[in-house]
Structure formats: structure tokens, C-alpha cells
Structure 1
């Protein structure tokens, strides 16, 4: 696709239905603002909103700022499930973070508007069988797709996700659906903290796996796995085995962080030698470089 075709395709889509929104409880929201800048460039016509305790030094006038209280990790999840809907005036919100943003607006598909939540499948998932519920990691849930009497609910990443206003209000409009957090699986003592193998307190785990059967009964629609895979990538699991990463709309990964937009620079929070060992992660690196990004790795 040449540049003119790329621009024409972006203009054809009605991005005015979307608010690009980044929520951070940290004082320094500059990198989140960078992610919104790049995302808005890729989705002309979309609104943009940054929610943070302080406005960053660089914030273009096309991005609105909303002051919020400082948030810890769990408070962030609660904010996304119970409060974000107050701030979104459009039909949909596209969640943006400094480690997840729009790569190519020309890869947008209008069929994403048919669903209430779209996000990349991640390594964790829930598998229901007549024997009960099992939570799996490392994409072990993938092997159970299509098995008789098996229902698989992969966790769909929230850090770069499209959500309808109906999804944003789901737990408000359906108070009978309760967030469920079991006791922690492990207590770490240095430092002392709680650990859940399935990341139970995380809002994307709640909304796309723990509560998904109840939310579906309430009318919330989730896309099939192939649509989620084209939408974005976090962990490059088996469903990404042959995918051309240039076809992705966006990405998310806590090890990939946008630290500059002049030039656009992705900083990996790990050494290149470790990145090399991760499935197809070097292909992601190549995709970024082909798009003009500079890549920085943790020193060996």
C-alpha cells in the first residue's frame, strides 16, 4: 500500500466514534502523552484524552487532559471498570498506554465496531470443562480450543483495547455482576506481597475471562480469536505463528515502552539476548524498525 492509499484508507474510517484514552496514576505522564500523539496521527478524527494526576510538559492542544487522583495498580483496574465511563462521550474508547499504541491506522477494520471489547489474546486463559474451571498460562489454553466440552476464555489484553460505551458501563448497568477476586495463590516475603497465578485482580482478566460468561449473558459481545489476533499483539503466542506484524492495528507489551517521538523510540526493558529468546519478538523489533522506530535495549 503506497502512502496515498494509506491516507485514503484512514480517512475512510469514521474515527470520530472513538476516544483515544490513556489513564495513568503516575505523576509523570509524558510517555503516555507520546503514545496518544502517535495514535492520533494514525486515526485522524478521533478524540484524545489523557487522565493523569498532572499534565505533562508536552501535550498538544488536540489532546484533552483530565486531572485524576494518583492510582496504584489495583486502583487502576477499579478505575477502568467503574469510573472511566464518566469521561468518555463517544461510542467507543481505545485504551492507549506508553507500552501500547496504534501502529497503523490503515489496518483498522470497521468490524471492530461490531463488538464491545477487542484486545489481543495473552498468555493467560480460562478453560471450563465438566470437571470444573482451570486457569492456564504460557498459552496452554490454546491446545484446548475446539475440544468437546471445553470452553476457552483467553484473557484479552486491556492495555491496548477497544471498548464500547456499553462495556465501560457494564458493571454499572448490571450490579448483579460482581468482581470476583479469590485469595492469593502465593505470598512473597521479600518484599512482602500477594501473587495470583491468573492475575485475578487485573481488570482485563475480570472483564474478558472471570466475568465473561455473565457479561455475555448480559449482551456483551466479544470477537472470535482471529479478529483479536489481527487487532493487536502482546505476547506473540502460537496464533501469531505466521502473521505479518505489519498488518497489526496496534500492540501492547510491558517490555516495550515508547520513550520518545522525535524520533519515535521503543525501549525494551530487557537485554537483546533475552528478546532474541522470546517467540517472534525479534520479528516485532524488525516491524518497529521498518516503521522508522529506533530501538533501545537494556545493556548486556
Structure 2
């Protein structure tokens, strides 16, 4: 199995996430696709993929260019905000499916699998993604799992894992009911990283992260995990990024940060 991440924006964080997966499991190859000079830790092959400046360019790479770099076996596609957390939750049953990703909780059961940010993909799925009839590419996971699912299943024989299997494989928006192999999503980071690591990761993220919805979700998760110092850092970065949007959620956050929390977890 190949482990990979595609990241030209925060390659250092992507490399650290890859390392965390490597600490949990052995992979035949570990690839980091980025752009420009970057020295990765031992065991990670760096591939210059050229500029990847947007989500649409990321989707194009995953659908159209990644298959050439993974000519055999399965690939575990990850991002900076997702990695393997419990190798004991692995099951060889996962390998019988062509695509597994965390469940989307806002989709019907027939098309709720799955999120691409931490996803297992077979050769059949990779090659199917090259089909010229796939004319919409972004976001690539929604295109595969929803928009073109009938084409992939009917023409290419692609098998999407059922929701019960996907929930054992990874979590994203749903809280896990038990142990999972991995996860995806910034709001889940406080459950798997300590406060010093989170502070360091926040310092490494670009301003555009703090302007978006993921920053709001992460702020709430930090408070739920009783990490007010990290939440303050996030709020300061959001202000510095130009989002002085003191709407309801930020007023609530500011109020919660003013209350005593006791000792913050380390």
C-alpha cells in the first residue's frame, strides 16, 4: 500500500501528518506531492507536482495525475489534517472495497461514503477516475462518490464501502462510536494532538485557513477539549487575517475564553 499527501501550501504539516501515519503502520511507499524545494523526513519521497494553487487543481491532480504515480496496489490518500490514529482498528476487509472514506452525515445512506481527505482507493478506482466522461472534477471526492457514482459502479465495477465499514475506517463530521483506523478534519485535531503541538501547527497555517469555516469548527472543538490558550491563539490569527467578524459564534467564544478553565491539558 502507498501512503500519500498532496500539499503545495503546507508541506511541512503534511509531512508531519505522514510521519504520524508511518508510526502506526508500515507502507510500501510514502509520497509527498508538493511544489518547489522541500526536504522531507526520512522515508518520505518528495515529488514536485508543479503548482497546486486551489482546491480545483488538487482535485485534478488526484483524479488525473495520481494514478500514474501509484501503478500497483492500494493508495491511502491523506491531507495535513488527517492520519492513522489506531492501527489496531485496521481490517483486511477494507481491501475488498475500491473506495472507503469517512461518512458524510448530511447525505443519504446510498451516497454517504465518503470523504476523500483520508481515503483508501484501489487500482480499479484510480483507473476509473481517468474516464473522460468525468467532466466535472471538483471536489473530487463528491464527484466520485456522488455525481459519477452510477458510472463508476456500472461501467467500471467500482465498489464503494458500505457506511458500517466506512465508520470503522475513519471519522470526520460524525463522532466515532469506537476505534477507527484514521480520521480527517481540523475540528478533530484536539482529540488526537496535545496543546503544544496544536499551537505549533496553528503557527504554521496560512491566513486563509483562519478566514474559513474550519477555523470556527476548530475553535469550538478546542473549547470542548478545554484548550483555551490554543483557542485564543486561533482567535488572534483570525483577527490578524482580517476577519473581525464579531458575530454570535465569536462573541460566544470570547465569553467562554474569559471564564476560568482550570489547568489546560498538555
- Equivalent residues in 2 for 1:20-35 (5 A)? 20-26=3-9, 28-35=10-17
Against the structure 1 CA distance between its residues 236 and 180, is the aligned structure 2 distance closer, same or farther, given a 3 Å change threshold? same
Alignment of 1:82 onto 2:28: no
Structure 1: segments with no counterpart, 5+ residues: 1-17, 126-140, 146-151, 182-200, 290-294
Q: Distance in 2 between matches of 1:271 and 1:115?
A: 31
- 2:164 aligned partner: 226
4+ residue segments displaced more than 6 Å: 260-263
Partners of 1:49 and 1:64 in 2: how far apart? 5
> Deviations for 1:46-66, whole angstroms, at most 9, x for unmatched residues?
421000003544x22211010
The CA RMSD over aligned residues, in Å, is 3.1
Q: Provide the secondary structure at the position in 1 that maps to 2:63.
A: helix
Work out whether 1:250 is the aligned partner of 2:196. no
Distance (Å, rounded) in 2 between the aligned partners of 1:89 and 1:122: 29
- What SS does the aligned partner of 1:21 have? strand
- What does the per-residue CA deviation read over 1:166-217, in whole Å, with 9 as the maximum and x for residues that have no partner? 2111132x43x32347xxxxxxxxxxxxxxxxxxx30000000111111011
Q: Secondary structure at the match of 1:235?
A: coil
Structure holding more strand per residue? 1
Q: How many residues in Structure 1 have an aligned counterpart in Structure 2?
A: 217
1:65 aligns with 2:23: no
Gaps of 5+ in 2: 203-213, 236-256, 258-266
> Using a 3 Å threshold, how does the CA distance of structure 1 residues 274 and 109 change in structure 2: closer, same or farther?
same
Q: Any conservation in 1 of the 2:186–2:218 contact (CA below 8 Å)?
A: no
2:150 is aligned to: 213
User: Is the partner of 1:41 in helix, strand or coil?
Assistant: helix
**Structure with more helix by fraction:** 2
Q: Is 1:96 matched with 2:54?
A: no
CA distance in 2, matches of 1:101, 1:44: 13
Conserved 8 A contact 1:52-1:66: yes
Alignment-derived partner of residue 170 in structure 1? 128
